[in-house]
Structure 1
Amino acid sequence: MAPIPVKPGKYKIHAHIIGPGSLLTATEYAVKHGAPVITDRFNPLPIEQEWIIDHPEAGQEAQTGSPYVIHLAYHPAAGLVVPEDRVFVNSVPRAEWSQFSFEQVIGGIKILSDKGLALRAGHRGAQITLVPPKPEFQETWTLEYVGPIPTE
């Protein structure tokens, strides 16, 4: 599939896994590479479940196939990083955040790393991993647009 453009903004990122609805969620504790990113049930406090999807350099124009970075909506310095094919959120310089692209697939979208690996949610509570893309529902996501990127 070809990459698709995504409107920069604040999103909830829904996982397609068996069981109750799950969202991409930053955990509350840090380990070696930052806080592991998992899927969890909807939490009424959006602090760790709303994400900003933006271009690597804020203010760029959206273009088909252009890369994006993802960071916590309420912690603008905490972006997604992918050491050892596992997804973490960490407060490192924006230039060190991992870059992603999005592809339309049946039932949603696939989120791909700059190495062409797909984000995979094995089950609720499992850390998000990157795997070679396959047509599996655990690699399918839905982006729920919440609003524009907050300007402060």
Structure 2
Amino acid sequence: MAPVPVRPGIYKIHAHIIGPTSLLTATEYAVKHGAPVITDRLNPLPIEQDWLIEPTEHVPGAPYVVRLAHHDKAGLVIAEDKLWVNSVERTELAKFTFERVIGGLKILSENGLALRAGHRGAQITLVKPAPDFQETWTLEFVSPPNEEE
């Protein structure tokens, strides 16, 4: 499928797993490659659940990087087919595209692997895309990018 353009801005990223709303969440404690990224219930603090999605460059069809909206450098990185958040240079952030699927979007890495939310609290893994609701996500637009970003 063709990639779907996403308006640059701050989002909450909802996982499609059974139970109460689950959001893509940066955990507090770093291990190995950074802090593991999981799904968790809505946290009243946006520090760990608001994500800035922006294109890598300002040309149509460019992939996107995803970083914490309230942190200058911390963004999503991929290591060992798992998703982490770490403070790295922008060029080291993972690149993603979005594809429309029934019920939402599929988030794909630059290697064509899909983000998968196994269950609440599990680290997000990257897998070969399949028609699986655990690989379906919804982007909830919160606001445009902060002016100082």
Provide the TM-score with structure 1 as the length reference: 0.95
Q: Distance in 1 between matches of 2:48 and 2:120?
A: 15
Query: Which of residues 74, 78, 88 is equivalent to 1:82?
Result: 78
Aligned to 2:48: 48
- 1:34-73 aligned at under 5 Å gives the runs 34-57=34-57, 60-61=58-59, 63=60, 65-73=61-69
Aligned to 2:121: 125
Q: Distance in 2 between matches of 1:146 and 1:22?
A: 16
- Residue 95 of structure 2 is aligned to residue 99 of structure 1: yes
Q: Distance in 1 between matches of 2:102 and 2:56?
A: 27
Give, as a single letter, the amino acid of the residue that structure 2 aligns with 1:6.
V
Give, as a single letter, the amino acid of the residue that structure 1 aligns with 2:17.
I
Gaps of 5+ in 1: none
Query: Which of residues 115, 138, 145 is equivalent to 1:142?
Result: 138
Aligned to 1:29: 29
Number of residue pairs matched by the alignment? 148
- Residue 112 of structure 2 is aligned to residue 116 of structure 1: yes
- SS of the equivalent of 1:126 reads coil
Report sequence identity in percent: 72
Q: Distance in 2 between matches of 1:24 and 1:138?
A: 12
User: Displacement, 1:151?
Assistant: 1.4
RMSD: 0.8
User: Displacement, 1:144?
Assistant: 0.2
Provide the TM-score with structure 2 as the length reference: 0.97
Give, as a single letter, the amino acid of the residue that structure 1 aligns with 2:27.
T
**Deviation per residue, 1:19-74 (Å, 9 max, x gap):** 111000000000010000000000011110000000124xx24x2x3200000000
Q: Distance in 2 between matches of 1:76 and 1:139?
A: 28
User: Displacement, 1:76?
Assistant: 2.4
The 8 Å contact of residues 38 and 122 in structure 2, kept in 1 or not, is answered as: yes
Runs of 4+ in 1 over 6 A off after TM superposition: none
Q: Distance in 1 between matches of 2:137 and 2:63?
A: 17
